[in-house]
Structure 1
């Protein structure tokens, strides 16, 4: 395992506690999917299961899930004590049936007027969610809702604070637009692909996605004459450019302090992404010359995602590389600049890479030098 505990561990402990109560021992699965209002997307965030994980992570637009749309709109939980589905259905009902689940309760996580996600309770016992059971579970549903909303509120506050800082500094170009959308989703793709072999949770993957766009926040402190230079940097200019890593850490720490975000979830992931994404697998990177697995996994993931997008994007000083040329470069540098596992993970599904590129195309806006 290359990650620390978090909300998922608390959910698992709570699940164990719930099942100790008479009558509640048949609650076999609890899962939470978050809602991201920026893209109206729903993603599995944390889960706890009795036995092996039965379902693949949920990921898609809210409009793709009419059942969740109805729960979000009405605020009323969906209780289904005899799950049915069309034969061969690939929908949630069919997948639940395939793994032996017979009852489900789906409710929204809603706090102070905002939708934060959905809570899924499942049982392999048909007719499990009777009125007494639903009443007994209500306090736990509220606890889980408060935990999730509290955690996501801190994350949203940090992202909003950084966005404001970028806007105030006139940092408006690819680094706040399509580049960040693409590279963060490449990072998510890599993390999800290596999750089974590295013991990564959906919670870890979610925070890699959320925090990846902040990797270069320190560039707001780099002079425009260097940041926006269309040609190659001089050695002295490159030394100044390299300071964006430590300045980025200073900015993140100041925001956590100034905005009262001391409880920011997985702040270590954020600090590692900002502070270590220019470290190299062979130890030749900066600022600390870390190598191999001494480089935090989240930073190794972001490094591959960031460079791949920088290579395949048009910049004032270069044309866009083809995906094939960029892939060849990453393979050549695997084990040198980049973690070989992360490189292999990104290149394993080029159709997914191309889908991300289609969804988040560049709109010419300004000048930015990525990958430095």
Structure 2
């Protein structure tokens, strides 16, 4: 994986899924694809997460609002499974997912799964023959589904718990900053956009992009440790105040380490993604950033992505004290910072998604009178 590096290598759920799929195909060779999509209730977005498929490019990095897929909404609400013995019926649907699946496979079986009564996602099985899903096969798949769902929950639930713990900590300490909940959602979307654009070059999988998405809102968690007199100061900071303000990066890393130790999360194979987002999103591409003065490719790629996403949203968004910049003004600022503050590839990856950016900004707006 170029650029991503062995630092982030782990035995992923994707690898586990491939092993399960291999075992299933020994008895049912027509079962050609297993895939899992994860649901985010706050945004109503369904993300591709893991898959075992003969075509690695099939529905890569795909996301859709659940409300736009009525058949899946029906499954989510009913909790029932769905068997489609002839996928030709999907060719009349408008969704990209339905059309792609009907072009590549002949029949399918789908199960929703939940945590504490809340929808967490769907498991999809696809076959290359019509009428393939017999009662015997479905009985077998339901057992495998429980195993797959357990693997997913063991990965995703601790992340959600960690994020919730951080959020509760913010609320308890009454952290009040320009970083609203909507800002954090937007930033996660922008990081996802950039990661998807760079996926081929850096070898990002859907699984890794999901972790980037989950961890993005915690980038500035260390600001909890900064006093309100500095954090909320409306004017420019003094040199000493700036020095204190910059300690939020190290404080954030300390908070993560304490959370990991106290709640036994050290085994997370993807925790370095979180640490790199927190620890390096204020590093500058030319080496003049903080806290470590890293330069160029010395900066973890997720930190370079976060730097662009964070500054973009900070500038384009309205604040209680000012109106946001126009899209063109922000783009000009990012372009001017290429090779200085920002990784040029990350800037280019974001700004070539103008339509998606504007959609995100419209869907998750803060309401201020400016």
TM-score strictly above 0.5:
yes
What is the CA–CA distance in structure 2 between the aligned matches of 1:149 and 1:288, rounded to whole Å?
35
What is the CA–CA distance in structure 2 between the aligned matches of 1:312 and 1:215, rounded to whole Å?
18
Residue-by-residue CA offset, 1:227-267 (whole Å, 9 max, x unaligned): 11111111111111110000000111112222333344621
CA apart distance, 1:86: 6.1
What is the CA–CA distance in structure 2 between the aligned matches of 1:251 and 1:203, rounded to whole Å?
25
- Alpha carbons 1:84, 1:94 under 8 Å: kept: no
Structure 2 partner of 1:70 = 74
* 1:257 and 2:257 correspond: no
What is the CA–CA distance in structure 2 between the aligned matches of 1:74 and 1:313, rounded to whole Å?
39
What is the CA–CA distance in structure 2 between the aligned matches of 1:87 and 1:266, rounded to whole Å?
38
Alignment of 1:48-59 (within 5 A): 48-59=52-63
Structure 2 partner of 1:369 = none
What is the CA–CA distance in structure 1 between the aligned matches of 2:91 and 2:132, rounded to whole Å?
23
Structure 1 partner of 2:9 = 4
Secondary structure of 2:50's counterpart equals strand
Residue-by-residue CA offset, 1:58-92 (whole Å, 9 max, x unaligned): 42232222221222222221111211236564434
* 1:198 and 2:202 correspond: yes
* 1:17 and 2:23 correspond: yes
Structure 2 partner of 1:270 = 274
* 1:97 and 2:102 correspond: yes
Q: Where in structure 1 are there 5+ consecutive unaligned residues? A: 366-372
Of 176-185 and 276-285, more deviation after overlay is shown by 176-185
TM-score under structure 2 length normalisation? 0.92
- Alpha carbons 1:174, 1:180 under 8 Å: kept: no
Length, aligned pairs only:
363
Structure 2 partner of 1:132 = 136
What is the CA–CA distance in structure 2 between the aligned matches of 1:294 and 1:95, rounded to whole Å?
39
CA apart distance, 1:193: 1.7
- Alpha carbons 1:281, 1:339 under 8 Å: kept: yes
What is the CA–CA distance in structure 2 between the aligned matches of 1:163 and 1:87, rounded to whole Å?
43
TM-score under structure 1 length normalisation? 0.91
What is the CA–CA distance in structure 1 between the aligned matches of 2:151 and 2:314, rounded to whole Å?
37
What is the CA–CA distance in structure 2 between the aligned matches of 1:12 and 1:174, rounded to whole Å?
43
What is the CA–CA distance in structure 2 between the aligned matches of 1:173 and 1:279, rounded to whole Å?
21
Secondary structure of 1:35's counterpart equals strand
What is the CA–CA distance in structure 1 between the aligned matches of 2:207 and 2:353, rounded to whole Å?
22
C-alpha RMSD over aligned residues = 2.1
What is the CA–CA distance in structure 2 between the aligned matches of 1:315 and 1:40, rounded to whole Å?
25
**Cα 1:306–1:252, aligned 2, differ >3 Å: closer, same or farther?**
same
- Alpha carbons 2:249, 2:278 under 8 Å: kept: yes
- Alpha carbons 2:225, 2:248 under 8 Å: kept: yes
Q: Where in structure 2 are there 5+ consecutive unaligned residues? A: none
Of 318-327 and 145-154, more deviation after overlay is shown by 318-327
Secondary structure of 2:121's counterpart equals strand
What is the CA–CA distance in structure 2 between the aligned matches of 1:289 and 1:4, rounded to whole Å?
25
